[in-house]
């Protein structure tokens, strides 16, 4: 049970960093070889794709935070199985260049290694994101 709670605490701290616009705090939740993937077709939405390692994560997260604020995250479900977690959440996203907001849901799939996030695959409504930034 302690391992489960430790993994959930790690993810909750990463969410708090992201929601608080703290790119460096978010990066520190990741393993040095950690990877982040925003699922989607890169030919449709350039923001999708993968980055790996602290320098690439820092750059990607800084850019995401610069453009998209996350507000009022509500965790709807948390599932833990071994070294993996699935988190379903609802939040408001603010596109900072225009101030427009939209409510959406995310599904995040985490894999934990050595007490850090080694992999995060995020499923978001990329059509909604594309409409917002167009």
Which residues, at least 6 apart from 132, have a Cβ–Cβ distance to it below 8 Å?
A: 93, 95, 98, 100, 102
Bridging pattern class, strands 68-81 and 100-113: unpaired
What is the pLDDT confidence band of residue 42, given thresholds at 50, 70 and 90? confident
Can you give the pLDDT at residue 2? 61
Average pLDDT (105-132) is 94
The Cα 24–Cα 17 span in angstroms is 8
- Tens digit of each residue's pLDDT (9 = 90 or more) over 78-95: 999 999 999 999 999 999
Q: In sequence order, what are the residues at sequence separation of 6 or more whose Cβ sits closer than 8 angstroms to the Cβ of residue 124?
A: 38, 39, 40, 104, 106
Confidence (pLDDT) at 8: 97
Q: What 3-state DSSP class applies to 91?
A: strand
Residue ranges and CATH numbers for the domains of the chain are 2-133 (3.10.450.50)
- Rounded mean pLDDT of 109-120? 97
Residue 1 pLDDT class (50, 70, 90 cuts): very low
Residues 5-25: tens digit of each pLDDT: 999 999 999 999 999 999 999
Across the range 107-129, mean pLDDT stands at 95
Question: Percent of the chain, pLDDT > 70?
Answer: 99
């Amino acid at each position: 049970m302690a391992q489960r709670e430790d993994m959930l605490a790690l993810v909750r701290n990463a969410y708090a960093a992201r929601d608080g616009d703290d790119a460096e705090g978010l990066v520190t939740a990741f393993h040095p070889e950690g990877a982040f993937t925003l699922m989607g077709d890169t030919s449709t939405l350039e923001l999708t794709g993968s980055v790996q390692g602290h320098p690439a994560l820092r750059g990607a997260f800084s850019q995401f935070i610069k453009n998209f604020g996350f507000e009022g995250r509500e965790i709807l479900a948390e599932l833990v199985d071994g070294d993996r977690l699935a988190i379903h959440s609802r939040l408001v996203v603010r596109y900072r260049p225009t101030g427009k907001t939209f409510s959406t849901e995310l599904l995040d799939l985490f894999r934990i290694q050595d007490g850090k996030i080694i992999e995060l695959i995020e499923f978001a409504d990329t059509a909604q994101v594309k409409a917002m930034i167009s």
